[in-house]
Structure 1
Amino acid sequence: MITVSIWTSATAMASILPSPIRPEPATRTSWLPLWAMAGALVVGAWVYLVVMAWGMAHMDVSGRWVLMPRMTGWTALDLVLVFLMWALMMAGMMLPTVVPVFRLLRRIDRADAARACPWCRSAGFALGYLSVWAGFSLGATLLQWGLLEMRLVSPMMESASTGLSGVLLVLAGIYQFSPLKNACLQRCRSPLSFLMTQRSDSGFRLGLRQGSYCAGCCALLMLLLFVLGVMNLWWIVALTVFVILEKTVPDARWFSRLSGVGLMAWGAWMLVSGVGV
């Protein structure tokens, strides 16, 4: 069965829902603070990533920055800083991918005359969605700490082991073929039925569920940041574009499988040749 893209779902929603009365300017304006906050978070996250990436390449300057964790011997403060890095990175990378879901949810709530606050569920959705990725960021922080202590990740936040890089790439490639990956991706691409059947749920619960599907789809891909560098800006951009394409290209199954083959081939080459990146 061909998976309907998330963008197609937005069109379908417009035809299914009754056309509400054109909102008054005050109603439209009430959404501006929410969109402004979401946009500011995404822009701020990317500004932070650009600054931190520059700092990693100029440690003679950034080594004195408050936001820069120590190279080794992390303290509780360093763990907090690395968690902040991961959390902002996930917000910048993943929040733009659910903009179509925001639009669908807004359409549903604006059509519901009984709903006094048409934007509250969208705000709760964003909070729930980001909470899932905050949980992932906590796990990634602890994983990075462990790998750093085992000398498998360098102080520059990139893999110091060809074996680690190769294994991560092969596992990510295999996962692209898994039923769990396909099920989560389908939910991410086609949220229409999910939102329609959960109309009574709070926005926070909807965000937790959608975030869980997206984490199930993309978490292993995010761990590939260790391969070329957690603060490698071009690698971050490439993974972000990949996730967006996987959620939007028609019949994404072929895209996922083709990328899976490429990831497995890349990882196998690294394991066999012993040549890093």
Structure 2
Amino acid sequence: MTTEPPLRRGNLLPARALVTAWSLLALIALLAWVLTAGQAGDMGIEPGTMGMGVPLFVLLWLLMKIAMMLPSVAPVAITWARGISRGSTGTVRVVRMTEFTGGYLLVWTAFGLLAYGGFAVTGDLVQEHPGAGRWIGFVAFLLAGLQQLGPLKNVCLRHCRSPMGQLVHYAGYRRGWARDLRVGAHHGLYCVGCCWGLMVVLIPLGVMNVAAMAGVAAVIFVEKLWRLGPLFSTVVGVVLLVCAGLAPSQDWLTPGLQSSDSPMHMN
């Protein structure tokens, strides 16, 4: 069995191919944002799954992840694509990069099933006990803040910020079934480990809250790509802990946990 040559300058994609790849990913992310915003405008912000079944929720979740995560994962996907030898055709490069991105999104789709359960449980609690929303918000912000400041966050963030070593390791793998899909899924697992806490805050802020989604996406983008990303991540963790302390008394922090008969919704 042959092996792929490691990532090196001799294997870099031509400039035109790089521009095309960046443009395609940017276009996909933009389209996903437009579709997400349109759907959110139709649905509004309500507790829980907003009456969605698993298939529809997971479909919208995947659309949200494409919009939110593709900008921050694009450099990694492009880096992987650059390791494909110049002898490969453009079609092969596109297929392999699509496999990588598909593996990444597959992991986030699986996480979406867990998210559905979390939204369903919290939605039912709020409908039965409207006052529980503020304490669910407290727990959500607390978990997110602690995750931002915890060791798992640092390990996964280091990988997401500097994945080259791991990609070089994968470049030496023997050819196998869906290798690019597996590489994308492996990176996706690190990304989930890095960002799951930030996704938890969508429970109090609202699963279809476009402003909240944009804010979370911006945080993820900055902490992964800015040179001071780790420091920024720590600051975000402290802010989330402050939000946890305020959530029991500040309903504006938990719009996604306000029942339909709560004062916030009646105003």
Instruction: Answer whether TM exceeds 0.5 for this pair.
Output: yes
Identity score, percent: 30
| Cα-to-partner distance string for 1:185-221 (whole Å, 9 max, x where unaligned) | 0110101111111104411111011000000000121
Distance 1:181 1:58, change over 3 A: closer
In the alignment, is residue 150 of structure 1 matched against residue 125 of structure 2? yes
Q: How does 1:32-51 map to 2 (within 5 A)?
A: 38-39=25-26, 41-51=28-38
Return the match for 2:135 from 145, 163, 170: 163
The one of 5, 18, 24 aligned to 2:9 = 18
- CA–CA distance in structure 2, aligned partners of residues 102 and 191 of structure 1: 10
- Number of residues of Structure 1 aligned to a counterpart in Structure 2: 237
In the alignment, is residue 233 of structure 1 matched against residue 210 of structure 2?
yes
Conservation of the 8 A alpha-carbon contact between 2:101 and 2:181: yes
Amino acid aligned to 1:185: L
Look up the equivalent residue of 1:205 and give its one-letter code.
R
Task: Please tell me whether the aligned partners of residues 32 and 66 of structure 2 are also in contact (alpha carbons under 8 angstroms).
Answer: yes
Q: CA RMSD in A?
A: 3.1
Q: Which residue of 2 aligns with 1:224?
A: 201
Give CA deviations for 1:162-198 in whole Å, capped at 9, x if unaligned. Answer: 1011111111111112111100001101011111111
Is the alpha carbon distance of 1:160 and 1:93 closer, same or farther for their aligned partners in structure 2, counting shifts above 3 Å? farther
Secondary structure, in 3 states, of the residue corresponding to 1:231?
coil
Cα offset, 1:146, TM superposition? 2.1
TM-score (norm 1): 0.75
Contact 1:144-1:153 within 8 A present in 2 as well:
no
The aligned counterpart of 1:178 is: 150
Q: How does 1:117-266 map to 2 (within 5 A)?
A: 117-151=92-126, 161-201=133-173, 202-266=179-243
What is the identity, as a one-letter code, of the residue corresponding to 1:259?
A: V
Moved beyond 4 Å, runs of 4+: 20-25, 34-40, 69-72
Whole-angstrom CA distance in 1 between matches of 2:66 and 2:120:
21
Question: 5+ residue gaps in structure 1?
Answer: 1-15, 60-68
From 53, 60, 84, the equivalent of 2:40 is 53
What residue number does 1:96 align with?
Answer: 71
Residues 24 and 129 (structure 1), Cα distance of their counterparts in 2 relative to 1, 3 Å cut? closer
Cα 1:263–1:50 shift into 2, 3 Å: same
Equivalent-residue separation in structure 1 for 2:106 and 2:183 (angstroms):
12
Residues 23/249 of structure 1: CA separation in 2 closer, same or farther (3 Å cut): closer
Give, as a single letter, the amino acid of the residue that structure 1 aligns with 2:122.
L
Deviation at 1:269, TM superposition (A): 2.3
Q: AA paired with 1:177?
A: L
The residue identity in structure 1 corresponding to 2:100 is F
Q: Is the 8 A contact 2:149 2:234 kept in 1?
A: yes
- C-alpha separation in 2, matches of 1:214 and 1:38: 18
SS in 1 for 2:208: coil
